[in-house]
Amino acid sequence: MPKRVGILTGGGDAPGLNAVIRAAALTATRVYGWEMMGVLEGFDGLYHGLPLIPLTEQNVRELLARGGTVLGAANRGSPFAHPVPLPDGTIRYDDVSHVAISRMKDMGLDALIVAGGDGTMAIAQKLVEMGARIVGVPKTIDNDLSLTDVTFGFETAINTATEALDRLQTTAESHHRVMVLEVMGRDAGWIALHAGVAGAADAILIPEIPFDIQIVCQKIQQIQLSGRHHSLIVVAEGAAPMGGKQSYTRRETGVRLGGMGHLVGELLAECAAAEVRVTVLGHVQRGGQPTPYDRWLATRFGSAVVHLVAQEKWGQMIALQGTRMVDVPMKAAMRLKRVDPAGETVRMARDLGIVFG
Amino acid sequence: MPKRVGILTGGGDAPGLNAVIRAAALTATRVYGWEMMGVLEGFDGLYHGLPLIPLTEQNVRELLARGGTVLGAANRGSPFAHPVPLPDGTIRYDDVSHVAISRMKDMGLDALIVAGGDGTMAIAQKLVEMGARIVGVPKTIDNDLSLTDVTFGFETAINTATEALDRLQTTAESHHRVMVLEVMGRDAGWIALHAGVAGAADAILIPEIPFDIQIVCQKIQQIQLSGRHHSLIVVAEGAAPMGGKQSYTRRETGVRLGGMGHLVGELLAECAAAEVRVTVLGHVQRGGQPTPYDRWLATRFGSAVVHLVAQEKWGQMIALQGTRMVDVPMKAAMRLKRVDPAGETVRMARDLGIVFG
Amino acid sequence: MPKRVGILTGGGDAPGLNAVIRAAALTATRVYGWEMMGVLEGFDGLYHGLPLIPLTEQNVRELLARGGTVLGAANRGSPFAHPVPLPDGTIRYDDVSHVAISRMKDMGLDALIVAGGDGTMAIAQKLVEMGARIVGVPKTIDNDLSLTDVTFGFETAINTATEALDRLQTTAESHHRVMVLEVMGRDAGWIALHAGVAGAADAILIPEIPFDIQIVCQKIQQIQLSGRHHSLIVVAEGAAPMGGKQSYTRRETGVRLGGMGHLVGELLAECAAAEVRVTVLGHVQRGGQPTPYDRWLATRFGSAVVHLVAQEKWGQMIALQGTRMVDVPMKAAMRLKRVDPAGETVRMARDLGIVFG
Amino acid sequence: MPKRVGILTGGGDAPGLNAVIRAAALTATRVYGWEMMGVLEGFDGLYHGLPLIPLTEQNVRELLARGGTVLGAANRGSPFAHPVPLPDGTIRYDDVSHVAISRMKDMGLDALIVAGGDGTMAIAQKLVEMGARIVGVPKTIDNDLSLTDVTFGFETAINTATEALDRLQTTAESHHRVMVLEVMGRDAGWIALHAGVAGAADAILIPEIPFDIQIVCQKIQQIQLSGRHHSLIVVAEGAAPMGGKQSYTRRETGVRLGGMGHLVGELLAECAAAEVRVTVLGHVQRGGQPTPYDRWLATRFGSAVVHLVAQEKWGQMIALQGTRMVDVPMKAAMRLKRVDPAGETVRMARDLGIVFG
C-alpha cells in the first residue's frame, strides 16, 4: 500500500522553499514510491482541511529556481492558539491541535514534513509529543536556528543586501555621503554581519551588540580625516542603542514608517554633520530566485528529510554540519543562534577596521 | 599648439558618467590630439580652482563600467548663486559667474564639456551667453530631459527597480500581500512607468497623473476576486493624490522618514483591508555599474560631444534621436519631459490592466 | 460574435517572445473582447492542425519574464517547402501553403499574428498575398531586420556577451592573456559591436568588415608595448578574413567543432606569440529571462500588433522608430540590416582605439 | 622594529584572491603594525626580485570585489624547476629554490603568505622544509583541496555555470534540443555536480565516474517519452568515457578545438537522434567579481592567515571546517579531494533522477 506523506511550509517565506518541496517530492516518489502531497497555507490549511496538492514529478518540475513557496505560508497560524473572532469584536485563541492531528489521519497522511523556523518547529515538536509523525526542515532567512551551520535563503538575502551596498558605494563616493542600509535581522545580526563584511561597510550595527552612536560618528570622522569622504553603515532592523531609546518604529501602527535605519540616520546626521541617506531594503531581501547555493542546500534538505521519514525519526530535523547532512532534535534546534560578540567573525571584522558601535 | 579641454559633472550622479568621461578623453586624445582635463566637484571646483586631473588614456582605462563619477559632483553649486556664510549665521548668495569664466582662462581650458541635468544645463547656457565655450551631455537618471530619446543611467535604474519588483512578487504571492515599491521620479514618472510595465505591476502612480486611492483599492479587490491574492503597486516619489494632501515627507526635516510610498501603503492598508508592505529603494537606484546599454549610450555621448567641441558648437548639447547622435540647443533641452497621460505607453499600460489611480 | 485571433512564433527563440504573447493576449481580451489562441510549433503546427492553446488572462499570467517561447518554434518549417520523406530515403519539398491557409479557416481564426525573423516574415508575406489575414512582430536576436530601430532579445544577448567580457577581463589581466569571445551574428555584427564597445574590447571582428589578422596582431603588440599585457577580442560567428579562407566550421558536420572564434584564436596565437584562450558563448546568448528593457519592448510590440489586427492592416509589421510604435510593410522589413562600416558607431569605436581588422 | 611580510598568488586566478590580499593587508597593518608587501607574478617574481608593492590600507581599498589578482599569477613558475632557454633551442630546468629563499632575506621579508593550489602548496612546503617561513591560503576554483570544506572562487564559478544552465533551459525547451554544457574540472567534478544539481541537469558527467554514453542516451529518450522534449547535460572538462576513447582535445595543439563537451555532444547526436548544441564556458568561469560569499570566505582566509604568521606556524595552511577557521599542514591539504561516487551528494543527485553515465 503506498505511503502518503504531506509537506507544509510555515512562517515567512525564504528563497529555496520550493526547491525543498521539489526535492522531497522527487525523492519520495522515485526512491520510496510514496505519494507526496502539499498542504496549503501551513498548519492553518491542515486545520481547515484545505484540499491537498499532489506533488507529482510533473507538478514539481519548475520549482527548483522559483522564489517563495507554492504552498503558501500562514504567518501566525498555530493550532495551539487558533484565533476565533467573537461577536463582541474580540478574539479568542483556541487550542485546536487535536483537530489538526485528526485531519492528518482523515487525509490519509502517514507522516508530515514541516519546513519552518523556530515558531513552526515549536508547534511541530508539541504535535510530535501528542503522537504526530512529523520531521522538520529548518527555514530561516536570518540563519538564526541552532545546530545547523546555515539555512537556505540566507545567502540569497545576503546577495541582495550586498548588491545594495555595492550600488550605494558608488553614489556615496560621488556625493560625499554617509549611506545607511537597514537589513533584516530582528533578533540576530547574521545578515548585517555577512553583507557588511562582503560589502565593505564601515560600521555594522546588530542586535547582539548594543551600539553607542558616538563610536560610529568617530569612525565616520576618522574616515573623513583619512581623505575618504563617504561611508557605509549597515543596520540590522533589530539593532538597538546602548541603554536605551528604542526605535520609534513601535510607536507607529500599521505600515512601518521608520525603523532603526532611520533612527541611526538621524543620529548620524546630527553628530557627524554629514549628509546621510537611508535605504530600507525590506521584503526585497526575502524574495526572488534562490542563488545556486541556496538551491543546492534546499535540495539537499528536501531530499534528506525524506530519508528521516523512512527511518521514522519523528521529532528530528535535518541539518547541515560541515559538509554533511545530519539530523538533530527539533527541540534543540529551535533555540536562537546569535552572533557571538566575542567570536571569531566579529573579531575579524573589527580587525579590518569595522566598528560595531 | 595642443588644445586643452575640461570636463565636469554636475548634479546627482548617474551610472554611465564615468563612461562619458572615458570616451571623451579617448576621442579627444586619439582623434584630435588634445589634452583632456577633469574638473573636480562640478562648477564649485571650477570656481575654487581645484587642481585639474589629467585624463590620459592610462587614467581612464578602468572607468567604463564604474558607477558614480570619479570627478565628484557638487549637488547645488551654481556660480550664479554661490553660498557665502555670514558672521551672523545666515548665508548670502553671490553671483561669481565671472570668476568661474576667468578660471577657465587661467587654467588654460579652451573649452568645457558639461555633463548634467536641467539645473546644470541652465547654468551652462547662461555661461555660454557670457561668452564661455561650453557644450553639454545630458544626464538625468529620470530620463526627463527634452529632445533626447533617452539618457544613460535610466536603464540601470529601471533594472534595479524591476529586479526589486521581481523579488517582491514571489514573497507577495506566498503571503497574500500588497507590496508597494517607491521608486525615483520627483517630477516625471518614467522609471515607475517602465519598471512597472516590465515588472508586472498592478498599479503605477506617477506625478503626471494625480491618483485616486479608491481606484487602486478597487483594483486590488478585483484582483482578489479573480483568485490572485497579492498585488504590486509602484509609486514614483513625486506621485500625488488628486486634489490634495501632499506627502508628509516634507513635514520631516533632515533624514526622510516616510515618502509617498509610505502614504500610499497606509491608505491601501485602510481601504483594501490587506496586509501591506512598503519598500523605498532610494539611492540604490542611482548606484552601481551601468548596464551594457548605458555604457554604450554614455560612450556614444562622450565621444560625440568631443566632435561638438571640434565644431565649436557652443551652447549645444549632444542627444540621441532614434539611432542617431544629434545636437540640440541646451536651452531647449532643459525643458522637463514628462509622461503624457494620454500618450501611447500609458494607454498601452491601461490596456494591459494596469491602473494609474 | 467574438473574434478569434491566433498567434505563432517562428524561427529561433528570443528572450521576450513570451512577453509578446502575454501582451497580445491581454490587449486582445481586455480591449477588444477577442479570443486569443496560441498556435504551437510555428507554421508546422498550423499545417498539422495541432490543438490551439487558449491564451486567457489566467494562462498568460506568468509569461512576462519567462525566456524562450511557450508556443515552441519550428526552426525550418515553411508551408511553401514542407519536407516529405520518400521511401527511397530522400526528401521531397511540397508547397502546402493552401492547406495552412484553409487550416486557419477550419480553426476559426479570423486573423494571425506572426512573430518571427526574415524567414518567417517572407512566408507570412507570401501567405498574405494569397489572401491570409496576417500581421507581424519582428523577432531577431541579432537586431538585423530593417525599419525597426531595435528588436527584443537583442539587449538580453548583449548583456550576456558583455558580462562574459567583464569576466574574461579580470582573468586575462591576471594571466597576461589574449581572450577571444565568439558571439552570435551570422550575417550582421550588431551583437559583437555593441558588446565589444560596452565590454571594452580591443578588436571587434564582424561579417560586414572582412578582417586582416595582421592588424589585430599589431593592435595586441601595441597594447603590450603600452604596458598592458592582456587584450580582449570579440568575434561574430559570421566574421570572415579578407580575401578568403572561410572558417573550418563548415567542414564539420553535425555538432560544430570550432567556429570563427577558434580560427581567430589560432591565428593570433601564431602571429602575436601570446597565450590565447577562446570562449564560444553559443546558445547561452539566446536563453534566459529577458532584461527589463526587452520585456518593455516586447510588451509594446505585443500590445500594438493587436491594434494592427483591429485596423486590418494585413501584411504590416509593428516596429519601433525612435520612441514610437509604427507599422511597416513586412516586405520591406525583412531586408537584412547590417552594420555600416563607414557609419557613426563603427567610426566611434575606431576613435576609441578599437580595431576591426 | 616593524615586521615585514610578503604575500604572493600562484597558479590560476580565482575570484576572491584580491579579497584575501586586502584582508591580510588590513589585519597585518591594523592589528600587528606590520608592513605587508605584495610579490608580483608568484614565485617567479620572488626569484627575479621584482619590486615589491606596498599594500597599505589606501592601496588595498578597492580590492574586495575585484576579480583576478592584482599581484598577477605565474602559471607554471616553480623555483625547483626554473626554465632556462638554451642556445640550441631546448629548455633546461634548474633548481633555483635557494635563490628564492635568499631573495626573501634580501627583500627583508620576515615571512611569506602564499595563496595557491596543490602545485603552489607543494612548492611552499618544500621551501618550508628548507627553512623558509611560509604559511598558506588554499586557492582552487575547483574546490579540490583536502581538509578545507570549501575554497573561495568555487561559488562564483558555480553561479556562472548555473546561470548558463538557466539560460540554456529556456532555449532548449523552445526548440526541443539537448544542450551540453562543458564546465571546468579537470580532476574533480565538484563544479559540474553542484551546478548540475542547482541548474536541474538531467545528466552530470564527472572525472570520478567514467561514463557510458548509452546510459545518457537512454535517459534522454526516457525524458522524451515522458513528454518533455529537451534535456540538459553538464560535462566536466575532465570527464572520460568508460574504458576508453579519450577526448580528442589532446590531439590538437595550441588553442583547444573541442573538449569533452564536444565529444559528448557528437556521441549524443548519434545515439539519441536529437538536435544537440554544445557550449564551452571556459575562462568565463574563472573571472569576474567574487560573489558575496566568496568575498566573505576570502576575507576570513586573508585575515586568519595573518594570525598564523603571528603564531609562526610555518608550513600550515588556513582552512574552513564547518563554520570555523582552522589550520592544517600544507602537506596534507594538497592531496586531491574528489567527489565520492558512493557518497551522499551523488546518491542524492541519483535519487532526483540525475544520471552520471
Running along chain B, 357 residues long, what does each successive block of 10 average in pLDDT? 88 94 98 97 93 96 95 82 91 93 95 96 97 97 95 97 96 92 96 98 98 96 93 96 60 54 93 89 92 98 98 98 96 94 98 96
Of B252, B268, B286, which closes a domain? B286
Q: Do D94 and D166 lie in a common domain?
A: no
Nearest CA to C66 out of C22, C6, C113, C116 is that of C22
Determine the residue among C162, C170, C234, C276 to mutate to test chain D binding: the one whose Cβ has the most chain D Cβ atoms within 10 Å.
C170
Residue B61 CA to residue C200 CA, distance in Å, equals: 9
Question: Quick one: pLDDT at residue A273?
Answer: 81
Task: Report whether pLDDT(C32) > 90.
Answer: yes
Q: Do A118 and A238 lie in a common domain?
A: no
* CATH code of residue B253: 3.40.50.460
Of B286, B318, B349, which closes a domain? B286
Chain A residues close to D149, C-beta within 8 Å: 322-323
Question: Quick one: pLDDT at residue C253?
Answer: 37
Query: Residue D172: what are its φ and ψ, rounded to 5°?
Result: -60, -45
Residues 68-97 of C with CB under 8 A from D: 68-69, 72-73, 75
Q: Do A158 and A100 lie in a common domain?
A: no
Backbone CA torsion sign across C286, C292, C297, C303: positive
- The one-character DSSP state at C337 is P
Grid cell of C196 as nine digits: 565589444
Q: Which of C44, C142, C294, C327 is catalytic?
A: C142
Query: Residue B21: what are its φ and ψ, rounded to 5°?
Result: -60, -45
Question: Quick one: pLDDT at residue A1?
Answer: 54
Which ranges of chain A have pLDDT less than 70?
1-2, 74-76, 244-258
Question: Quick one: pLDDT at residue C81?
Answer: 92
Backbone CA torsion sign across A147, A152, A153, A155: positive
* CATH code of residue A117: 3.40.50.450
Q: Do C196 and C63 lie in a common domain?
A: no
Q: Give the structural domain span for C186.
A: 154-286
Q: Do D139 and D11 lie in a common domain?
A: yes
Within-domain flag for A354: no
Mean pLDDT within C224-251: 80
Question: Quick one: pLDDT at residue D244?
Answer: 64
Q: How confident is the model at residue D250 (pLDDT cuts 50, 70, 90)?
A: very low
DSSP H or E run through D93? strand D91-94
Q: Do C142 and C226 lie in a common domain?
A: no
Determine the residue among A50, A174, A179, A263 to mutate to test chain B binding: the one whose Cβ has the most chain B Cβ atoms within 10 Å.
A174
Q: Do A171 and A217 lie in a common domain?
A: yes
Mean pLDDT within C18-25: 98
Interface membership of B199 toward C (CB under 8 Å): yes
Q: How many CB pairs under 8 A join A and B?
A: 142
Interface membership of B290 toward A (CB under 8 Å): no
CA dihedral D107, D109, D110, D111 (to 10 degrees): -140
Within-domain flag for D349: no
Of A286, A311, A341, which closes a domain? A286
Q: How confident is the model at residue D255 (pLDDT cuts 50, 70, 90)?
A: very low
Residue A162 CA to residue A194 CA, distance in Å, equals: 9
* C330-351 residue pLDDT tens: 999 989 999 999 999 999 999 9
Of B195, B295, B353, the CB nearest to C26: B353
Residue B152 CA to residue B294 CA, distance in Å, equals: 5
> Can you state the angle between helices D292-310 and A344-351, rounded to 10 degrees?
90
Q: Which of A13, A118, A142, A202 is catalytic?
A: A142
Determine the residue among A22, A156, A197 to mutate to test chain D binding: the one whose Cβ has the most chain D Cβ atoms within 10 Å.
A197
Question: Is C295 in Cβ contact with B26 (below 8 Å)?
Answer: no
Rounded to the nearest 5 degrees, what angle is found at the Cα of A320, between the Cα atoms of A315 and A326?
A: 50
Grid cell of D212 as nine digits: 557510458
Within-domain flag for A345: no
* D121-156 residue pLDDT tens: 999 999 999 999 999 999 999 999 999 999 999 999
Query: How many structural domains are present in chain A?
Result: 2
Task: Report whether pLDDT(D77) > 60.
Answer: yes
Amino acid at D79: P
Question: Quick one: pLDDT at residue B253?
Answer: 37
Question: Is C299 in Cβ contact with B352 (below 8 Å)?
Answer: yes
Within-domain flag for D55: yes
* Cβ contact B32:B87 at 8 Å: no
Of A26, A197, A323, the CB nearest to D149: A323
Mean pLDDT within D71-85: 84
Looking at the complex, report in whole angstroms how far the Cα of residue B90 sits from the nearest Cα belonging to chain C. 48
Mapped onto helix, strand or coil, the DSSP state of residue A187 is: coil
Grid cell of B193 as nine digits: 512607468
**Which residues 6+ apart lie within 8 Å of B215 measured at CB?**
B355, B357
Within-domain flag for A68: yes
Query: Residue C220: what are its φ and ψ, rounded to 5°?
Result: -60, -40
- Cβ neighbour number for residue C74 with a 10 Å cutoff: 22
Question: Is B345 in Cβ contact with C26 (below 8 Å)?
Answer: no
Question: Is D162 in Cβ contact with A198 (below 8 Å)?
Answer: no
* D269-328 residue pLDDT tens: 998 888 999 999 999 999 899 999 999 999 999 999 999 999 999 999 999 999 999 999
Task: Report whether pLDDT(D245) > 80.
Answer: no
Chain A: touching chains (3 or more CB pairs < 8 Å)? B, D
Question: Quick one: pLDDT at residue D76?
Answer: 65
Q: Do C148 and C295 lie in a common domain?
A: yes
Residues 254-273 of B with CB under 8 A from A: 254-258, 262, 265-266, 269-270
DSSP H or E run through A4? strand A4-9
Within-domain flag for C341: no
Within-domain flag for A98: yes
Q: How confident is the model at residue D258 (pLDDT cuts 50, 70, 90)?
A: low
Q: Do D173 and D197 lie in a common domain?
A: yes
Amino acid at C48: H
Task: Report whether pLDDT(D232) > 50.
Answer: yes
Grid cell of D54 as nine digits: 606596498
Question: Quick one: pLDDT at residue D12?
Answer: 87
Question: Quick one: pLDDT at residue B15?
Answer: 96
Residue B203 CA to residue B220 CA, distance in Å, equals: 9
Interface membership of B206 toward A (CB under 8 Å): no
Chain D residues close to A231, C-beta within 8 Å: none
Q: Do B222 and B305 lie in a common domain?
A: no
> Residue with C-alpha cell 554633520?
A273
B228, closest residue in chain C (CA to CA): C58
Interface membership of A56 toward D (CB under 8 Å): no
Task: Report whether pLDDT(C317) > 60.
Answer: yes
Residue A134 CA to residue A139 CA, distance in Å, equals: 15
Q: What is the ipTM of this complex?
A: 0.94
Interface membership of D210 toward C (CB under 8 Å): no
Q: Do B145 and B294 lie in a common domain?
A: yes
Interface membership of A353 toward D (CB under 8 Å): yes
Looking at the complex, report in whole angstroms how far the Cα of residue A26 sits from the nearest Cα belonging to chain D. 6
Chain A residues close to D23, C-beta within 8 Å: 348, 352
Q: Do C204 and C276 lie in a common domain?
A: yes
pTM (2 d.p.): 0.94
Question: Is B257 in Cβ contact with A174 (below 8 Å)?
Answer: no
- Annotated active-site residue A142? The verdict is yes
* C167-197 residue pLDDT tens: 999 999 988 999 999 999 999 999 999 999 9
Looking at the complex, report in whole angstroms how far the Cα of residue D335 sits from the nearest Cα belonging to chain C. 25
Q: How far is CA C16 from CA A171, C42, C66, in A?
A: 31, 16, 8
